[in-house]
Amino acid sequence: MIDLDVIGRNTLAVEPYQWAFINQLFSRRDAAALVASYPRDHFKTIRGHDGEKGYEYEARSLIHMGADTPSFAEDLSSAWRQLAAGLLSKQYRDAMTQLTGLALAAAPMEVNLFHYGPGAWLGPHLDLKEKITTHVLYFNRTWNPKSGGCLRILRSREMTDMVTEIVPIVGNSAVVVRSDKSWHAVSRVQEGCRKSRRSVNVIFHLPGSISTMWPPGETTPLHRYDAAEESENTWGQRLHHALSFRKRE
């Protein structure tokens, strides 16, 4: 489902650190199916401040750390099971290795989904040292950058010291290689925004790492996230059905 060629033939920027913007990851048909069935179940609310960054958002596991099958697979659509299978494939890992030049063959991988509703944000931060690299994929059909919710590539810990913003539209993605300079953030979603900012983080960790998102013994109750906008799902369902009908013709 993922266009691995577009990952492998891309190159990393080197300023202000190693990162890449990669778009057109999916075909039109696959993008429609993923938007239409973006998960809303098995989420938990995460908010707080860890001494470096403030944050608030909703999170769901797609692939637990080091797992070889999707989380709650029975509740995923066919499109999302296919995407999970693609992320678990050797070919995806090879494409990320080719892009980053990093040794990822033995790196435990973790994949999480996120909803950012009105007021949600992630302050400027460096990723934890056990994270090698992160690939962030987006799943909104449209998005107004004035609504916030954009990934900011930063030169420093200041939110306004920005190199660029990446809009969370389906097919767009960003790769961040962890370093002592890899500052980034997600701008606060405006209170009046009626859309949920939807993303997936694919994280490659150093061997022996333990998930901080889903630590051992996690007992947080999970819930359904119902604030995601219907317009995104309606568009995706209509386009997916239209493309399927044309195929039958």
**What is the average per-residue pLDDT within 165-174?**
97
For the chain, percent of residues with pLDDT exceeding 70: 89
Higher pLDDT, 61 or 237: 61
Residue 59's identity, in one-letter code, is: A
CB neighbours of 51 closer than 8 A, spacing ≥ 6? none
Whole-model pTM: value is 0.90
pLDDT band at 249 (very low <50, low <70, confident <90, very high): very low
pLDDT band at 245 (very low <50, low <70, confident <90, very high): very low
> Where in the chain are the domains?
4-211+221-248
Q: What is the pLDDT of residue 240?
A: 45
pLDDT band at 40 (very low <50, low <70, confident <90, very high): very high
Q: What is the pLDDT of residue 188?
A: 92
Q: What is the pLDDT of residue 227?
A: 61
pLDDT band at 52 (very low <50, low <70, confident <90, very high): low
What whole-number distance in Å separates Cα of residue 151 and Cα of residue 149?
7
In tens, the pLDDT along 89-134 reads 999 999 999 999 999 999 999 999 999 999 888 999 999 999 999 9
Superfamily name and number for 4-211+221-248: q2cbj1_9rhob like domain (2.60.120.620)
Higher pLDDT, 114 or 47: 114
Residue 98's identity, in one-letter code, is: Q
In tens, the pLDDT along 203-221 reads 999 999 999 999 999 899 9
Q: At what angle do helices 78-88 and 28-36 cross, to 10 degrees?
A: 110
